Amino acid sequence: MNEHFSDSDTELPPVIYDATLRDGAQALGIAFSRAGKLRFAHLLDEFGVPWLEGGFAGSNERDRQFFEDAAKEKFSRVRIVAFGSTRRAGGRCADDPLVQALLGAGTGAAAIYGKSWRLHVREVLRTTDSENLDMVSETVAYLKEHGLAVHFDAEHFFDGYKDDPGYALSVLERAREAGADSITLCDTNGGTMPEAVHDIVSAVFSSMRRTAAPDVPMPVLGIHAHNDCGMAIAVSLAAFRAGAQMIQGCMNGYGERAGNANLTTIIPALQLKLGRRVVEPEKLAGLRALSLAVDDLVNQRPDPRAPFVGESAFSHKAGAHVAGVRRNPATFEHIRPEAVGNERHVVLSELSGAANVLYRLKQTGAAIDGSAGADGGDLSREEVRRVVDELKSREAEGFSFESADASFRILARKALGAHKPFFELEGFRVFVEKRGGDRDCRSEATVKLRVGDHSELAAGEGGGPVDALDKALRTALTKFYPEIAKVVLTDFRVRILDSKEATKAVTRVLIESTDGSMRWGTVGVSENIIEAAWQALLDSVEYKLLVSGTPAPR
């Protein structure tokens, strides 16, 4: 489903330049550890990204350590770039500590930013237009003389071009004459519209080709967009179509303020929509895994609505949509999910019909003993209707199974009379105690369960009542089901369904669990938050036993 667009300016392949470790790390809440930065570099190398900006040379100890660590590593594709700026006004490159730090980084490649907006020359650098031009040309030339590949970033270029096109272009010309390998136009404030970017890049590209010396290679033209207007991706693609070959951005759209251009969207858009090869197709199929791995490195929850790689990117809720994709995925999907390593999801809700339920049963591989079909594919209409009715009944009570596949599977088994409980609750108690105003609350829980003919009483202590209840439950069951010891909670979310009822409101609890190799979600609903949590905990444990093939007691 490729859409080949060309303005006949260039057919050169796109070059991806990743700035996550520098520009992305400047985002609120984003911090890479020393080991995490190295792991990120290897992830991009394996994926096939050619350029990686590793940090600000001379700015901080962590970036300096990364350059030292990276120099000891072997990379097959990616080249590490040290970031810095032009020399200071009125100074010399040989005496400038930040320029010297670029040489000391030992990367063999440097990116420097320089001013292209006269407002910044006057108000930020507080120097003259001519001195700023000398700062650009002398710094580029100095780094080239010392054997570095040099990327020049024209900061605030689009604002500068709109203010004074002649001066903005003269900044680029000085960088080119000094030998810059690439010249990137930066929409630093993120406020330029895609149409304006396209027109300005077209003008720059034409000017650079027109004035290029016959014996001097033209530098690669690039784009660096920020997302302050939510258009960084559109701006980047508009610039590419106008002649910019290098596209800078950050994985998962990290970056200052509203973020940078999101490479996890730009890369598949270039390859699958514009028909331009960025990476090998088998590498592109690892895009979602790469996106998740990067989020994990900086302890961020993945954006479920992220294009291409988000969990919801190929999710279908309406029954008509589900029926359509079952017949032909192209009816409601713009690409194959597998092309970017994603998969199709069918969402179960009050809108669900038989098509949603059938598809979800097949997708989860729900073996339903005692039913007509082993995987949900051959269920009778009556059996499917029973599951649908039960689903809608529970949804009316406040349950939501969109993020609770494990609870849905257990619900389906119960609706079909195929579920055999692994234990029975005889009772539980939860105590919360606080001793003194400066001390933390502690919680204790006791659980009494019956497993077959055996009754088991266990206690648990935790920082909160749900934590204590979870520990008591698993302590009671581990004696009978050792595999439960591996199960831990990774997320706990609470939602009040009717705020008008205040403390009597119905509460929905969603729990995410893992055993180290798989993750699953469960849900509980009650006016009592502890009971809602218990329901979700119960489903979590039973799901683990179910998928482990553990036999239920007779």
In a domain, 115, yes or no: yes
Domain containing residue 85: CATH number: 3.20.20.70
> Residues 536, 439: one domain?
yes
For the purposes of burial, counting CB atoms within 10 Å of the CB of 240, is it exposed (0-12), middle (13-18) or buried (19 or more)? Answer: buried
Whether 160 is covered by a domain: the verdict is yes
> Which of 297, 325, 351 finishes a domain?
297
Report the pLDDT value the prediction gives residue 370, as an integer from 0 to 100: 39
- For residue range 480-492, list pLDDT tens digits in order: 999 998 898 888 8
Q: Are residues 54 and 151 in the same domain?
A: yes
Asked if 455 and 532 sit in the same domain, the reply is: yes
Residues 130 and 68 in one domain: yes
Closest CA to 139 of 85, 204, 213: 85
What tokens does 552 get? 């239920």
**The domain containing residue 502 runs over which residues?**
424-547
> For position 204, what pLDDT does the model report?
96
* CA nearest neighbour of 88 among 125, 117, 55: 125
28 and 87 co-located in one domain = yes
Same domain? 293 vs 348: no
Helix (H) / strand (E) element for 133: namely helix 129-145
How many degrees, rounded to 5, is the angle at CA 171 between CA 168 and CA 177? 140
Three-state DSSP at 71 gives: helix
Residue 514 CA to chain centroid, in angstroms?
Answer: 20
Residue 1 confidence (pLDDT): 34
What is the b/e burial string over 389-412, where b = at least 16 CB atoms within 10 angstroms of the residue's CB?
ebbeebbeebbbbbbbbbbbbbbb
Whether 102 is in a domain gets the answer: yes
CB contact set of 72 (below 8 Å; sequence gap of 6+):
none
pLDDT in tens, 72-125: 999 999 999 999 999 999 999 999 999 999 999 999 999 999 999 999 999 999
Query: What is the per-residue pLDDT across 387-404, written as a single tens digit (0 to 9) for each?
Result: 888 888 887 888 877 678
What is the value of pTM for the model shown?
A: 0.71
Q: Is residue 446 part of a domain?
A: yes
Same domain (yes/no): 322, 293:
no
Total domain count, the chain? 3
One domain, residues 139 and 267: yes
What local confidence, expressed as pLDDT, does residue 348 receive?
57
Measured CA to CA, the distance from residue 269 to residue 343 in angstroms comes to: 18
Say yes or no: 250 and 116 in one domain.
yes
Judge residue 272's burial from the number of C-beta atoms within 10 Å of its C-beta, 0-12 exposed, 13-18 middle, 19 or more buried: buried
Residue 8 included in any domain:
no
Tell me how far apart the alpha carbons of residues 538 and 423 are, in angstroms, rounded to a whole number.
10
Residue 105 resides in a domain:
yes
- CATH code, 543: 3.30.160.270
Domain stop point among 270, 297, 324? 297
Output the pLDDT for position 415: 86
> In terms of domains, do 197 and 291 share one?
yes
**Quick check: is 402 in a domain?**
no
Query: Backbone phi, then psi, for 190, in 5-degree steps?
Result: 65, 30
Whether 27 and 120 share a structural domain:
yes
- What is the mean pLDDT of each successive set of 10 residues along the chain, which is 554 residues long? 40 90 92 90 95 89 91 94 96 96 95 96 95 98 97 97 97 96 97 97 92 81 97 97 96 95 97 94 93 87 90 74 74 86 69 61 50 50 81 83 82 86 93 82 93 93 90 92 89 76 75 87 91 94 90 80
Residues 42 and 187 in one domain: yes
Q: Return the H-helix or E-strand segment holding 250.
A: none
**Assigned token pair, 291:** 């996106």
pLDDT score at 360: 65
Asked whether residue 369 is assigned to any structural domain, the reply reads yes
